[in-house]
Amino acid sequence: MNHLKIAVALACGLAALATGSRLLAADQKATVADADAFIERYNEESKEIYFESAAAAWIQSTYITSDSQLLNARAGERALNFQNRMIEESKRFNDLKLSGDTARGILLLKVGSTMPAPRDGAKVKELATLASSLEATYGTGKYCPGGGEECFTEQDLIKRMATSTDYADLLDAWRGWRTVSPPMRSEYQRFVELMNEGARELGFADTGELWKAGYDMAPDAFEADAERLWLQVKPLYEELHCFVRDRLSEHYGNDKVPAGEPIPAHLLGNMWAQEWGNIYDLVKPFDSELNLDITAALEKQGYDAEKMVRSAEEFYTSMGLRELPESFWQKSMLVRPQDREVVCHASAWPMNLKEDVRIKMCITPTEEDLTTIYHELGHIYYFLYYNHLPPMFQSGANDGFHEGIGDALTLSMTPAYFEKIGLLGEFETDEEALINYQMKIALDKIAFLPFGKLIDQWRWDVFSGKIQPDDYNAGWWRLRTEYQGIAPPVARSEADFDPGAKYHIPGNTPYTRYFLARILQFQFYRSMCDAAGFDGPLHECSFYGSKAAGDKLAAMLSLGQSKPWPEALYELTGTREMDASAIIEYFAPLMSWLQESNKDRSCGW
């Protein structure tokens, strides 16, 4: 369960405490004051159930057993029931003209759930049990070749995908991880049916429409906006894809990676081909001496998990932001425990809506993990800076904001920053070094864009029925090929359930947030660079150490979800639109270079 599911559990609130005695009688006319009191009561009561469901979810994720699964399912069920009762009760205020905060509170109550539950109690139980079970199946998933004794965890296989450049070895890891998900298929199908029933009872066409309703605009308008952003950045992706395919073709051979065809999905250094930074050595444009090997430096300097987190914290405090609370260090899970099953997928947790904030991660000393730590601390700082607000407003301005904060800081992890903190030596600044450096960043930031967009394209289609259960896997690969220009390395069929091998599908975490974050983080970064007084080319900026940038960030964080997101965006950036101009500006040098380099290649797939 990640922070937003928690926020959802929070929005779900508390079950048993809503006593009938305080409900209005059906024939009594509700007033504006009743609505204000209702929201106040919601804020109070939801805390109690939220604490319980957060604790149950934390225990399940850090100690997966049938017992913790059962307790988590029960706590989830109570939370969902509470949410349903509160939504039902709030309908009494539908025709009233309510005060700003109360109206917003009631709106958020209706659109804030990512797991809409039907009213029928038996179905609520079934839904909560399925959610818990899918999470556990993912968390405990292992690949045991030939059904033998030796098994590999997600983490083992991720590492192989990141470090091997052997076609057959990569194929084995890729295929192996996808043996964990077929058992999820029928559960997922039922999960979708139940959520859709819940969404319809709330007045939405399906769960996808509900998810799209969480952005302070009509669902259709949001979908169009996301599409607009994608079209803005698509040309960047197409150039990158073209260049990378050519380099992979040189390494693996034309027969394995043919020109004009989608790239085999297992050759991009990542289990899901979502970020490609791990193949930097295979595709780097120039043979310069520029050493960007942070992983080697972390290993050499004996960085352990805690030291890595302290180093990320130091970036935040250098900007004048507060220190992490002591309990963070005591209660977080930073490394994989040896004696029990856990969900290793990284997440950040606001446990009591005050100071008890934690991360859960299986940290290894790699650059990828260091970057993820900055990401997770972005969530943690958001939690800490909005914890003065009522529970209702303790969330990101929209979910893309929550995902984009830590990432905006990672853009400031420039070679100059790494040199300052002693992880890199002196670096070159010539044109070739710049293109190499930008390529390294683009392999993560730009390669991710179509992936970030298509995951929910698949789910929106599944929820609406456009993709039917007997077409789940084929529909998935149609989108993967259309958006990313990749293809499965071996034939797939409906006996597979490849979407389930990506955490956020069984974890039911909406994914458009990461797509938005990829765009927003450059907007945040550009504005913080302005605040820091930086006026060179954008990609050179690091606002490490800038209190002015920190003040601007803190001001936005402390708004939480109390205002529509365009207001929060305005607070930090002076604009009310999500817009790709900053990411385009950042990568301008690389893009001109790629266009020139690709001009004799035949691009596309």
Binding site for ligand X8Z (CB under 6 A): 2, 274, 346-347, 372, 375, 514
Q: What's the number of CA atoms in the CB half-sphere (13 Å) around residue 392?
A: 25
Pairing of strands 357-360, 347-350: antiparallel
Which CB atom, from 313 or from 403, has the smaller least distance to Zn ion? 403
Q: How far apart are alpha carbons 270 and 265 in whole angstroms?
A: 9
Residue nearest to ligand X8Z (CB): 346
**Chain residue whose CB lies nearest Zn ion:** 403
With contact defined as beta carbons under 8 Å apart, do 108 and 11 qualify?
yes
Numbers of helices and strands, H then E, in the chain: 25, 6
Q: How far is the CB of 4 from ligand X8Z (least distance, A)?
A: 8
Give the nearest distance from C-beta 222 to ligand X8Z in angstroms: 20
Q: Which amino acid is at 68?
A: S
Query: Considering beta carbons, is residue 284 or 375 the nearer one to Zn ion?
Result: 375
138-175 as b/e: b if 16+ CB within 10 A: bbebbbeeeeeeeebbbeebbbbbbebeebeebbbbbb
The entry of ligand X8Z, Zn ion, none near residue 346 (CB within 5 to 8 angstroms by kind) is ligand X8Z
Complex with ligand X8Z: residue 347 or 438, whichever CB lies closer: 347
- The residue range among 40-48, 402-410, 443-451, 526-534 that interacts with Zn ion, by the rule CB under 5 A, is 402-410
Nearer to Zn ion, 11 or 361 (CB): 361
Chosen from ligand X8Z, Zn ion, none, partner binding at 72 (C-beta under 5 to 8 Å by type): none
Half-sphere exposure of 47 (CA within 13 A, CB side): 14
Measured from the CB of residue 65, what is the shortest distance to ligand X8Z in angstroms?
Answer: 24
Give me the amino acid identity at 362. C
- Residue 163's identity, in one-letter code, is T
Q: How far is the CB of 514 from ligand X8Z (least distance, A)?
A: 4
Phi and psi (nearest 5°) for 253? 100, 150
- Name, in order, each residue with C-beta under 8 angstroms of 564's C-beta and a sequence gap of 6 or more: 216, 397
**549 close to 528: Cβ distance less than 8 angstroms:** yes
Q: Which is nearer to Zn ion, 126 or 403 (CB)?
A: 403
Given a contact cutoff of 8 angstroms between Cβ atoms, the answer to whether 263 and 485 are in contact is: yes
Q: Yes or no: say if 426 and 290 are a contact pair by the CB < 8 Å rule.
A: no
Binds 586: which of ligand X8Z, Zn ion, none (CB < 5-8 Å by kind): none
Q: Which is nearer to Zn ion, 264 or 406 (CB)?
A: 406
Task: Give min distance, CB of 374 to Zn ion, in A.
Answer: 11
- The nearest distance, CB 61 to Zn ion, in angstroms, is 15
Determine the interface stretch with Zn ion among 70-78, 329-337, 398-406, 413-421 (rule: CB under 5 A): 398-406
| CA 567 from centre of chain | 22
For ligand X8Z, give the closer residue by CB, 2 or 84.
2
In whole angstroms, the minimum distance from the beta carbon of 410 to ligand X8Z comes to: 11
Q: Which of 381, 407, 415 is nearest to 313 (CA)?
A: 381
Q: How many CA atoms lie within 13 A of 476 on its CB side?
A: 19
The two structure tokens encoding residue 412: 């400031």
Q: Site for Zn ion (CB under 5 A): how many residues?
A: 1
Question: Per residue, what are the HEC states of 572-585?
Answer: HHCCCCCCCHHHHH
By beta-carbon proximity to ligand X8Z, the closer residue of 194 and 449 is 449
What is the Cα–Cα distance from 373 to 316, expressed in whole angstroms? 12
- Rounded to the nearest whole angstrom, what is the least distance from the CB of residue 401 to Zn ion in the complex? 11
- Determine the interface stretch with Zn ion among 15-23, 121-129, 165-173, 395-403 (rule: CB under 5 A): 395-403
CB 98 within 8 A of CB 32: yes
Q: Which of Zn ion, ligand X8Z, none sits in contact with 69, Cβ below 5 to 8 A by type? A: none
Give the HSE-up count for residue 235: Cα atoms under 13 Å, Cβ half-sphere. Answer: 13
Nearer to ligand X8Z, 515 or 544 (CB): 515
Residue 473 site contact among Zn ion, ligand X8Z, none (CB < 5 to 8 Å, cut-off depends on kind): none
CB of 346 to ligand X8Z, least distance (A): 4
Partner whose binding site includes residue 514, from ligand X8Z, Zn ion, none (CB under 5 to 8 Å by kind): ligand X8Z
- Closer to ligand X8Z at the Cβ: 72 or 372? 372
In angstroms, give the least distance from the CB of 15 to ligand X8Z. 27
Query: Which residues are at the interface with Zn ion (CB under 5 A)?
Result: 403
